[in-house]
Amino acid sequence: MDCKEGQRLIDGYVDGELDLVRNLGIEDHLHGCAVCSGSYQERRALRDGIRAHGVYFTAPADLRTRVQRSLRQAAGTTPARRRMPWQWIRVVAPLAAAAVVALILVPPVRGPSPESILTQEVVANHIRSLMVNHLADVPSSDEHTVKPWFNGKLDFSPPVKDLVNQGFPLIGGRLDYLNNRPVAALVYQRAKHVINVFVWPSNKNARSEAAPVTRQGYHVFHWEQAGITYWAVSDLEEGQFEKFVQLLKGQSPTTS
């Protein structure tokens, strides 16, 4: 499948309207094409935002009744009795007033924040890697094999740390697409629990950290350190996952 065909099928794929053959074909194409993968992420984020935050407002029944009554009255006007301008004002003024009241009383619709959208993308990419059995492009527990594999594939060198002695072995890495750019995905494991760590350059060098969140049963940790953005996601028990994050940051774990 080429990009032209992929772009044509993305909307149907997002809405779950494709047959099995086309569904598998576009999934395979998205894993190898950063451009189409970016288009897919944008469409999926838009769909999720619309579903999560309704953008429709249902007019009150009395407002609808008054509009319909006014239209019927206007339609019943005969040429011999044409309404004077002041008569039209008498009809339109209550409707305009009702519309102004509705605008004041109905709160503006706000979509999801960029942080919330990116969190959902992180979770979706994690789930997708498990569903299509595409955890690693370079399956290896050796950080000196995984790190150089990204050379020439990304515009930065991702930090890779093996935590096998702490109980979180590195099992590989792969290319992924997040935040409208190619990123590195580092894959770790704890028992049968997979941990995806997505990394890409940050626009600031100062250390910062967001509060962990849970989406669809998956825990998400996000922080920035030494000019790198980190997003870690897993269904691992939260205390164990926090221990992993602290080790990745180079800190001494506070949990056992």
Question: What is the tens place of the pLDDT at every residue in 30-55?
Answer: 888 888 888 888 878 777 766 665 55
| 182 close to 154: Cβ distance less than 8 angstroms | yes
Does residue 256 register a pLDDT over 50? no
Does residue 223 register a pLDDT over 90? yes
| 68 close to 76: Cβ distance less than 8 angstroms | no
Does residue 117 register a pLDDT over 60? yes
Q: Which of 196, 199, 187 is nearest to 228 (CA)?
A: 199
Round to whole Å and give the CA distance between 233 and 245: 10
Q: Scanning the structure block, which residue is given the tokens 């922080």?
A: 223
Tokens for 181? 């750019």
Round to whole Å and give the CA distance between 229 and 51: 28
First to last CA, the chain: 49
Q: Where are the domains of the chain?
A: 3-52, 61-105, 114-249
Helices (H), 53-78: 61-75
Distance of CA 167 to the CA centre of its chain: 30
pLDDT, tens digit, for every residue of 80-103? Answer: 455 555 555 666 666 666 666 666
Global pTM value? 0.59
Which fold is adopted by the domain 114-249? Phosphorylase Kinase; domain 1 (3.30.200)
What's at 200, amino acid-wise? W
Q: Which is it for strands 213-215 and 208-209: parallel, antiparallel or unpaired?
A: unpaired
Q: Which is it for strands 218-225 and 228-234: parallel, antiparallel or unpaired?
A: antiparallel
Which has more pLDDT, 8 or 184? 184
Round to whole Å and give the CA distance between 242 and 227: 21
In this predicted structure, what is the pLDDT of residue 73? 80
Q: Which of 212, 203, 133, 220 is nearest to 174 (CA)?
A: 133
Q: Scanning the structure block, which residue is given the tokens 């995905």?
A: 185
Q: Which of 11-20, 48-57, 60-69, 178-187 has the lowest mean pLDDT?
A: 48-57
Q: Which residues have C-beta within 8 Å of that of residue 13, sequence separation ≥ 6?
A: 22, 23, 26, 27, 40
In this predicted structure, what is the pLDDT of residue 31? 83
- Beta partners for residue 219, in sequence order: 214, 234
